[in-house]
Structure 1
């Protein structure tokens, strides 16, 4: 920057010397011809473009050139001494819309290797080259094209593994067969027609290295997403919630360590078998007796540790946690225990429905949803079909995503390369309606290096604020891409927030003042002011085919939405000039195999 400034100063000083020298020579010649002074001054500068390559060595002309150079030099010196920070055209803001050259460094030359945002902007899947994660916050009101213009086009690129929240099942109906034709194994958890999809046994995905922690997350997830009336600040309500959570921790852990086929229905049956009496507080239910027998077993093994193998000690450690959590329940009075049992029965009532029990694996613990397949080299797509009119069973969606993230993160951490063998992208449509995923605000910030990414899809900002309260900014802040496809008519929060992200630009403003009368006057005043790149009301009136895309560290884009009927042209890209970059299509492709080449293999046509 310093050398550039010196070059500019030197060039302007030499230009001033040249111009003053030529003008002085021309003025002397015109004056010698007897022309008037006014004519001489008017015609003297014409030599600058009529004969610009001349240079006079006359003493007078040289002195004039030195005087011109000195004037420009003194002007530069004054500016240097003045030291004021003039940011021309940026006084009130420097925001402006991005152009093609702004997105080029972040696109892959092969369209199939991008996550398509708009008709003209895309983001490469190579997060190491772009230094941007693939987490996307998609905002769009009803009918704005979230499914048609974003989810479906990117799903049909078939360049990753997928987990897709699918309201009403329309994405599954339109894409499942095509995915299977390209070699994908397709699974579906159907919460609309409970018997139509795969079975999902959450207990089959408890982390074997830290089962107690995984079970506590499952119990917390169950409570958070089955109690819409939960008041985080309520004193009395919190007592019952915590007591109920301790009971779930105890029963889930007991089932996990003692059942031949651990499952949620087995835990539900234990709750149904529990009893409490206000008259005889010493009375024992079947569950009480099992917990007492477990304590006897724990004492026996602890008293003679050398007589038992490691497997027994591991079970005893788990039962020790279960009985300790159950002790919290047992310490209550008979009336208190009865209230906790009733509350648990009411909360678990949806899982007593026969179709739901079968969906959750039944007593035989059947699981066909195939979360294990995301840790293998093959291609997998999982669809979660949600009803759009009834949220009774939507808590199962939050449990599914908890287990999916736990299982894939565990697999990535135990992979020699530290990430999944095939990247996984989760299209979380209707994000606010799938419940609150435990620790999601931490997960979204740490999954990038494990080749896991998410698209958080919302109708408006108020949805995520209501669900995640104080953590919504952390979630959105960990999305390097924000895509706004349109806002609802009554939504005031989202346009204001988005307008603030776009920033302000500096514009020229002209004031015309007219005074009428016998001594009227007319004045023009030019000044500069700041203006939002788009005001909230302008964002609310975006045309149906337009959208706004923001990528971290890049100017925002006002673009045309992706049209699934129109193929996207190969973007110009400068990724190929990035150190260490290589085309994704050249990695892991068997020679002579037909199809579209991608980083992780070829898709057969």
Structure 2
């Protein structure tokens, strides 16, 4: 729309300038046959009496010549109307100033910004500036990564936060502020466990696939690096038993019993007697009753895999799994 309006304005302007071009052609026409000397001689007289116009045989030819020259001039003007950016032949890239960068990316609402430096902020809505909000801060110990970047952004209190705080410094300095702003603060402290909130993964289990993922991650992360690959039999056996126990609790136990301390109690109830293969432990009876009601239950299938082991092997599997999960016997973790 704007370009069309500009073109229309230019056409009107060129049409207006065409009038003096034709006028000048008619003034010059009577002297055209005498050549340049006669034109120059009569030019002064024509200027003294500019409205004394005579129509002669050369008038049409002169008007055509002047109009053609005028049109050629317009063509040359349009063909050379470009932005050549003189002085920038070798490029115009330059370092942006803090004020310019801040003006381009910051949100007008100061609370809805991520603080990058003292003078530069970037809005949290990436759709407005089309930049992601990922930031990598590199600096040596004591360079101010926490003091000058992490804390100021936490104190913005404009989003939810997941904070890795090895020294507890951020919690100590900003915890009261976050609480005053209405934040629900949860702390996972693996050093001072009695001061830590607890996490029960059973709360987040929705189906059988979640159980398999939980057990796989637990076994993988409690297996020492560089362990002998020949131990895979024991790992797989422990996996089958642990899956059976967790699946049973998830499907059959009341909500307050769905936790790892209860898993440890079930392992303790899984007594195996090497001299009496027919002996049924309290845990065997639990799964037998479940099998009578739901023989295709995944917990039953996984437990039957464990029960394929002979008495001595089954006992070793129980001991191995109990040792792997021994941390759940600690009151600070079990609580």
Query: Normalising TM by the smaller chain, what interval?
Result: 0.5 to 0.7
Which ranges of structure 1 fall in alignment gaps of 5 or more residues?
Answer: 1-68, 74-86, 300-316, 359-605
Residues 165-222 of structure 1: per-residue CA shift (max 9 Å, x gap): 3223222221111112222233333333322243432222323xxx212222222232
Tell me: CA distance 1:102–1:180, structure 2 relative to 1, closer, same or farther (3 Å): closer
Does 2:327 align with 1:350? yes
Q: Give the secondary structure class of the aligned counterpart of 1:115.
A: strand
Q: Which residue of 1 aligns with 2:58?
A: none
Does 2:307 align with 1:330? yes
Tell me: CA distance 1:278–1:230, structure 2 relative to 1, closer, same or farther (3 Å): farther
- Structure 1 segment 422-433 matched on structure 2, within 5 A: none
CA distance in 1, matches of 2:319, 2:95: 59
Q: Which residue of 2 aligns with 1:154?
A: 153
CA distance in 1, matches of 2:293, 2:182: 50
Q: Which residue of 2 aligns with 1:383?
A: none
Deviation at residue 276 of structure 1 after TM alignment: 3.3
Query: Are the equivalent residues in 2 in contact too, given 1:224–1:230 (CA < 8 A)?
Result: no
TM-score (norm 1): 0.37
Aligned positions, number: 250
Deviation at residue 159 of structure 1 after TM alignment: 0.4
Tell me: CA distance 1:219–1:132, structure 2 relative to 1, closer, same or farther (3 Å): farther
CA distance in 2, matches of 1:324, 1:265: 23
CA distance in 2, matches of 1:243, 1:104: 61
Does 2:251 align with 1:241? no
**Alignment RMSD:** 3.3
Does 2:200 align with 1:201? yes
Does 2:264 align with 1:268? yes
User: Which protein shows a greater Rg?
Assistant: 2
Tell me: CA distance 1:242–1:122, structure 2 relative to 1, closer, same or farther (3 Å): farther
Query: Are the equivalent residues in 2 in contact too, given 1:294–1:323 (CA < 8 A)?
Result: yes
Deviation at residue 251 of structure 1 after TM alignment: 1.0
More strand by share: 1
CA distance in 2, matches of 1:130, 1:331: 62
Deviation at residue 156 of structure 1 after TM alignment: 0.5
Q: Which residue of 2 aligns with 1:134?
A: 133
Residues 115-164 of structure 1: per-residue CA shift (max 9 Å, x gap): 22333443321122233443444444433333222221111100012232
Q: Which residue of 1 aligns with 2:181?
A: 182
Q: Give the secondary structure class of the aligned counterpart of 1:276.
A: coil
CA distance in 2, matches of 1:228, 1:119: 46
Q: Which residue of 2 aligns with 1:297?
A: 293
Higher relative contact order (CA 8 A, sep 6+): 1
More helix by share: 2
Tell me: CA distance 1:183–1:346, structure 2 relative to 1, closer, same or farther (3 Å): same
Which ranges of structure 2 fall in alignment gaps of 5 or more residues?
Answer: 1-75, 81-88
CA distance in 1, matches of 2:223, 2:140: 27
TM-score (norm 2): 0.64
Q: Which residue of 1 aligns with 2:25?
A: none
